[in-house]
Amino acid sequence: MESNSMSDGSEISNSSDTKSQFRLVSSLIGFGVFALLSSSIWLAVRHFGNRAMAGTEQGDSMAGMDHSKMSHDEMMTVQGAFNAVPVQVETVQPRLLKQAVKYTGTVYPYTEVTVYPRIAGQLRNYGIYPGDRVRKGQLLAQLDASERRTQLMEAQSETEVMQKMVTANEMQIQEQAREISRMKAELDYIQLKAKRFKSLVAGGAISQNDYDVVSSEVSAKEAAISGAKIKLVRMQAEIRRDRAKVGQSQAKADTAIVLEGYTDIIAPVTGIVQARMADPGVVVRPGMGILKIGDYSRVRLRANIAQADAMGIMRGTRVMATVPGTKMTPIRGEVSSIFPDANPQTRTITVEAIVNNPGERLLAGQFLEMQVIKDSNPAAISVPQLALHTFQGKPAIWIVQGSGDAAMATRRVVKRGVSSGDRVEIITGLKAGEQVITSGFSRLLEGKKVAMVDTADKSVASLNQVDQGNVVIELVSPTAQEQVKAGAAELTLQVLDKQSKSPIPVKQLDVDVTMPMKNMAPMTTMVDVKALPKPGQFRVKTHFGMKGDWIIKTQIKTSEHSGRKQFTLTAR
């Protein structure tokens, strides 16, 4: 028993010693780890603290700079990047430049006629409506003029009666004239008888009493003839009056016939009905318009032009008009009229051009844009308005000198000419073939490197440029047509001889990966290039940090080989 107790006690003692040793070792290890971490933290704090102090000192030194007194070019020098500035360019070419002024205008019909009734009456057979096309002489409506027919019949009857009365009176006048002739013959006989009796009285053949009887008969007959003549004159006056009445009656009848013809309302011109101002069944009268018709075979284009722009415009000046919002072919014509007075409120002058209107597509009141071409130059050197800016009080432009990676911006003062739309003529300071920067020059300064991009901010060069130099650089994987995922990427490039197409065992390949950015320098990313065991083959590790088009520029330049090529990969 005792021996067992002693053995148990020794085992317990040994176990306690082992645990104590384990705790001691653990404590030592923990202390060592703590000391290591503490020293690492101390070193890091010391290192970054010194950099922060250096940055503070640098910031303090920059804070002392007076940026308000720096020019734009100086600020660009301080803040600018070494990357090329993306710009949009235009190659200058002689082109037709029209010195023109553009104004809004309105379409008017060539002629506009209001149809009026010429007599009073109730409208009937009146089915014309706005938009209907009518021909000259076409029946538009009729007037109910039953009263006019009654008046016509009365006038005709009255004329007939008066004509019969005139005929009867003419017969009476003829009879009266014959009676006067008979009486004159009797007078001649009696006068001859009186003459014989006078000689007989002197010879004592007859008595004086017989002569006196014959002499009284002569006087009576003369008096009768005189009365007959007076009656004839009166009858002639009456017949003249009756004839006048016949004329009046006939005139009334003729007027009634004419007025009855006015019951038919006829189209005075060929055109389109613009407005209907009276409805069927309405009683209308002269002076009351019922229809408005416009002739649209030709139209008048009118625009109100500022008096300053009107200088130089004359009859025959060319005009081109377009109707916004339509696919209608531009309308060409000439100024046919310049109104002689200016509007005193707007100080504008109305200019009119008469043009043909095939198909009558242009209608009254339509809005259009009229361009009056005052002059034109078929081979003018011009640039967009946006390409011009002011430099030291003079108009200037930016042009690109050099090409590729050597392209840089140069400012040039120019002399401008006339303006036409969004373009300006350049008289001096620019020639055909030069490249003018049209967008992106706000961050430029003299000699700044530029990268030409299109309106989509892609390189002006093609997506896969033609190989330059005596080598060919190919993108083995991924191909230029493939899309890659944004993020880490690995490319394989191959360098070949341009003639034999065999691999060239070059050891170095320069690779630059960028993404064009709108209105700012391109984004660059890290590139790791490593030559592979296969001759002329390289592995490129890079990182596409954004989705979009990335440009991979490659270049080889040794004593024996040179060349460069650009690829574009799209990251999705």
What is the C-alpha to C-alpha distance for residues 517 and 503, in angstroms, rounded to an integer? 35
Q: What is the CATH number of domain 117-141+263-289?
A: 2.40.50.100
E strand segments, 116-241: 121-124, 133-134, 139-144
pLDDT value at position 334? 93
What burial letters (b/e) apply to 495-531, b meaning 16+ CB within 10 Å?
bbeeeeeeebebeebebbbbbbeeeebbeeeebebeb
Q: How far is CA 348 from the centre of its chain?
A: 20
Looking at this protein, which amino acid is placed at residue 28? L
Judge whether 168 and 239 are in contact, CB under 8 Å. no
Instruction: Give the three-class secondary structure for 268.
Output: coil
Instruction: Give the three-class secondary structure for 258.
Output: helix
Instruction: Give the three-class secondary structure for 182.
Output: helix
Strand partners, 301: 107, 353
pTM over 0.85: no
Judge whether 555 and 564 are in contact, CB under 8 Å. yes
What is the C-alpha to C-alpha distance for residues 396 and 387, in angstroms, rounded to an integer? 8
With CA atoms as reference, report the closest residue to 426 among 434, 374, 103, 310: 434
Residue segments in the chain with a per-residue pLDDT below the cut of 50 = 1-16, 45, 47-82, 460-464, 466
Length of the chain: 572
Instruction: Dump pLDDT digits (tens) for 462-476.
Output: 444 545 678 889 888
pLDDT value at position 61? 36
Q: Which residue has the tokens 């490129």?
A: 540
What is the C-alpha to C-alpha distance for residues 467 and 561, in angstroms, rounded to an integer? 13
Distances (CA, A) of 458 to 93, 153, 451, 514: 23, 92, 10, 11
- Class in CATH terms, 468-571: mainly beta
pLDDT value at position 393? 92
Both tokens assigned to 395: 């108009």
Both tokens assigned to 557: 């330049």
CATH fold of the domain at 82-112+295-452: Elongation Factor Tu (Ef-tu); domain 3 (2.40.30)
The secondary structure of 200-215 as a DSSP string is HHHHTSS-HHHHHHHH
Determine the straight-line distance between the first and last CA of the chain, rounded to whole angstroms: 85
What is the C-alpha to C-alpha distance for residues 294 and 226, in angstroms, rounded to an integer? 73
pLDDT value at position 52? 37
Q: How far is CA 8 from the centre of its chain?
A: 113
Task: Give residue limits of the domains in the chain.
Answer: 82-112+295-452, 117-141+263-289, 147-261, 468-571
pLDDT value at position 46? 52
Instruction: Dump pLDDT digits (tens) for 491-509.
Output: 999 999 888 889 998 888 9
DSSP state, residue 514:
E
Strand partners, 333: 319
Strand partners, 428: 415
Strand partners, 420: 423
